[in-house]
Copies of this chain bind each other. A is one copy, B any other.
Amino acid sequence: MIAPVEPALKEAGTFMEQVLGELLPQPVGPQSRVVEAMRYATLEGGKRIRAFMVLQSGRLFGVDRRALSRVAAAVECVHAYSLVHDDLPAMDNDDLRRGKPTTHKNYDEATAILAGDALLTFAFALLSASETHPDPHVRCELVARLAQAAGSDGMIGGQMIDMVAQGEVTGIAQITRLQRLKTGALISFACEAGAVMGRASPPMRHALTNYAHDLGLAYQIADDLLDAEGDPNVMGKAVGKDQKAGKATFVTVLGAERARGQARLLANQAAAHLEVFDEKADLLRGLAAYGVNRRA
């Protein structure tokens, strides 16, 4: 039942690289520096897992791939902006990301702050344009949902808890809640966007919501395991950061073996939520397994 996802993920990555390269503004004029930094932070980076979720979930409902790619690009822009700001000296203070100097290291802090701001803004420009969907109701719903997922009750709320309320995050319930906000909200948007665009029935939307919930947790546990055990050369960024920062993670609380078991359980559970779909969902099923077995 579970398809090997790597070839499709690789193809989507190449496709998204081209889409982002075309959609992102071109560096012209005296403000070109910030556009170069936007492109630096977004292009040649990452596995495009969130974009893949948008493309695959929309495919379930026959949504046009070109339209989906604009929403996928918006999600990747929000993800890239969050990394640029998260890497700043005042936040996680990281020098390396995806094997390259972080944006503030390659440019400067002011440029990185502005490039992140501009990427977030650009995501909403993408969603609101008529090329994204002929129905403005759908476009407004996408804007509203992305704003909810990325805002103070979503990703930013999670970042805030991660920065200043670490002392209160000690048990699995709090770690789960932090993850739901910090990384889960955007993953949920990515998995549900295709259903919004395809005007999916409530049971089908619900299936994708549940899939995203379990998948997001499984990926976070896998990330925690990679931070604890991964190879920095394969990953292209520093590891052991959580331990150094004294952060409670799924691995520090459960131990590596139980965390690994929990990630596998959640990945299986995520795939099981998709039984309402036929073999069209095989790549989404495969994505769950891929998430917990990856090395970077």
Binding site for B on A (CB under 8 A): 25, 29-31, 33-35, 38, 81, 85, 88, 90-91, 108-111, 113-114, 116-118, 120-122, 124-125, 127-130, 135-137, 139-141, 143-144, 146-148, 150-153, 156-161, 163-165, 168-169, 174, 177, 181
Contact = CB atoms under 8 A, between A and B. Distances in A.
A128 B147 contact: yes
Contact of A31 (B30, B144, B161): B161
Contacts of A150: 121
Copy number in this complex? 2
A34 B160 contact: yes
B110 A33 contact: no
Contacts of A120: 117, 120-121
B117 A90 contact: no
A75 B195 CA distance: 31
Given A90-B113, A110-B163, A163-B114, A128 B144 contact: yes
Contacts of A90: 108-110, 113
A33 B160 contact: yes
A29 to B, nearest CB: 7
